[in-house]
Amino acid sequence: MSQDNHILISDPTLRDGNHAVSHQLTAKQIALYCSAADRAGIPIVEVGHGNGLGASSLQVGLAAIDDFTMLTTARDNLKSSKLAVHVIPGFATIEKDIKPAIEYGVDVFRVAAHCTEADVTERHIHFCRNEGKTVFGVLMMTHMADRFLLAEEATKMQAYGAEAVILMDSAGNYLPSDVVEKVSHLVETLSIPVGFHAHNNLGMAIANSIAAVECGALILDGCARGFGAGAGNTQLEALIAVLERMKYSTGVDLYKTLDAGNLAERELMKVIPTISSTSIVSGLSGVFSGFLKPVNRISQEFGVNPRDVFFELGRRKVVAGQEDIIIEVAKSLKGSKYDE
């Protein structure tokens, strides 16, 4: 389907990276990184609370600044790059969040749902398409569904008007063979482009991203220094370099992307994402990478081992938005094991 081995790069540094700093990115940081990304020619820059538009809350974390400030700051600093937002129906509503976001100049709406619940995206996708915006469907936590179910859910998004579907390995659980199995099937089933968003819990983010393009994905997500939830995402600078070496075109300037990576390390992050021991457990147990901070904090409060918490959360198949279960799990582990 690709015309010239072209891969569309979407950069969620300022959205997924917000998870890594408990949603505390400031307007100044957003302005600095957007300018750098724009200079590098990154086609799409995603901005917002880690859980997307309208998600700032006590339950999943209050952002340092509101959506209006984030998006208008980004807009002011993106000249060529498209401005994107992550939209989870429920957190984001059409009236309260999407209509204002359109006014603030958002170009691309990435409407996301848990991998088995694409039905909830219908109204949001319809609305954004009818407003003349580019709309991608995003399936999250895709390690939890087989390729056939993923294809059915992605087909729904296509029918609703999505112009691409992105598979998210939100837990960083995939191996390249999983990517090939699922992405190939989607590429075969859908008539719209397929994209892939990796997390690096098992050190597989670049390998998985490359596996995705090798079997037909046309869109890849990458973050500066891998700045993202948990062990982080595919490292953008490395991704661009590898794609160049493999003769894929991205339209992105490698040197300026390296500069943006340096700037991100200096200006955005207190700690560069690494594959911590807990992140590995998070990936193995198939729990959303964004659970890392609350699991560590709550485990410490209850005096339980966060690895046990992750495996129990994985057994319960929790998904983003169910962070309140962490306390329940920690409490039950404390009662059943640690008091003995």
Partner 1 sequence: MMNKIAAFINEDLTRIHSSVASQLSESYGQCFFITGGAGFLGTWLCEWLMYLNRTENAGIKVYVLDREKNRIQERFENELQRGEMVLLNYDVRSLTEIPREVNYIIHAAATPDTSFHASCPIDTMSSVAEGTASMLRAASRLNNLKAILNVSSSAIYANSDMTTLTEDSTSLPFSHSLAAVYPESKRYAEKLCQAARNELRLPIVSIRPFTFCGPYQNLSSPWILNTFINDALNKRPIRIYGDGQTTRGVMYGADFSVWVLVILLHGKSGNVYNVGSDNPVMAYELANYVAKNFSFTPSIMLNTSLAKINDRTYLLPDTYQVKKDLNLTTFTDLELSISRTVTWFTQIYK
Tell me the catalytic residues. 19
29-58 binders of partner 1 (CB under 8 A): 43-44
Tokens representing 232 are 């982080």
Phi-psi bin for 87: left (phi > 0), alpha (psi -120 to 50), beta? beta
**How many CA atoms are closer than 13 Å to the CA of 245, on its beta-carbon side?**
7
Among 59, 146, 148, 336, binds partner 1 (CB under 8 A): 148
Write down the H helix ranges in 24-116: 27-40, 67-77, 99-104
Among 33, 160, 227, 310, binds partner 1 (CB under 8 A): 160
**Under the criterion CB under 8 A, does residue 246 sit at the interface with partner 1?**
no
**Under the criterion CB under 8 A, does residue 134 sit at the interface with partner 1?**
yes
User: Considering only 60-68, 147-155, 225-233, 317-325, which stretch makes contact with partner 1 by CB under 8 A?
Assistant: 147-155
Among 31, 104, 116, 163, binds partner 1 (CB under 8 A): 163
**Under the criterion CB under 8 A, does residue 112 sit at the interface with partner 1?**
no
Check if the beta carbon of residue 204 is closer than 8 Å to that of residue 239.
no
26-32 long-range Cβ contacts below 8 angstroms, 24+ apart? 26/64, 26/65, 27/65, 27/69, 27/70, 27/73, 29/267, 29/268, 30/70, 30/73, 30/74, 30/77, 31/73, 31/74, 31/76, 31/77, 32/263, 32/267
Among 155, 170, 208, 289, binds partner 1 (CB under 8 A): 155
Check if the beta carbon of residue 30 is closer than 8 Å to that of residue 61.
no
Burial of 317 (0-12, 13-18, 19+ CB in 10 A): exposed
Q: Which is nearer to partner 1, 194 or 205 (CB)?
A: 194
Give the list of residues 6+ apart from residue 118 with CB closer than 8 angstroms, or none: 137, 139, 153, 154, 156, 157
Check if the beta carbon of residue 190 is closer than 8 Å to that of residue 219.
no
**Under the criterion CB under 8 A, does residue 331 sit at the interface with partner 1?**
no
**Under the criterion CB under 8 A, does residue 252 sit at the interface with partner 1?**
no
**Under the criterion CB under 8 A, does residue 219 sit at the interface with partner 1?**
yes
Number of residues that bind partner 1 (CB under 8 A): 37
User: Considering only 25-33, 191-199, 294-302, 328-336, which stretch makes contact with partner 1 by CB under 8 A?
Assistant: 191-199
Looking at residue 91, its amino acid is F
**Under the criterion CB under 8 A, does residue 126 sit at the interface with partner 1?**
yes
**Under the criterion CB under 8 A, does residue 8 sit at the interface with partner 1?**
yes
Q: Which is nearer to partner 1, 64 or 154 (CB)?
A: 154
**Under the criterion CB under 8 A, does residue 292 sit at the interface with partner 1?**
no
CA 175 from chain center: how many Å? 17
User: Considering only 52-60, 144-152, 175-183, 308-316, which stretch makes contact with partner 1 by CB under 8 A?
Assistant: 144-152
**Under the criterion CB under 8 A, does residue 152 sit at the interface with partner 1?**
yes
Q: Using CB under 8 A as the criterion, which residues of the chain lie in contact with partner 1 when the complex forms?
A: 1-4, 6, 8, 43-44, 82, 108, 119, 122, 126, 129-132, 134, 136, 148, 151-152, 155-156, 158-161, 163-164, 189, 191-193, 195, 218-219
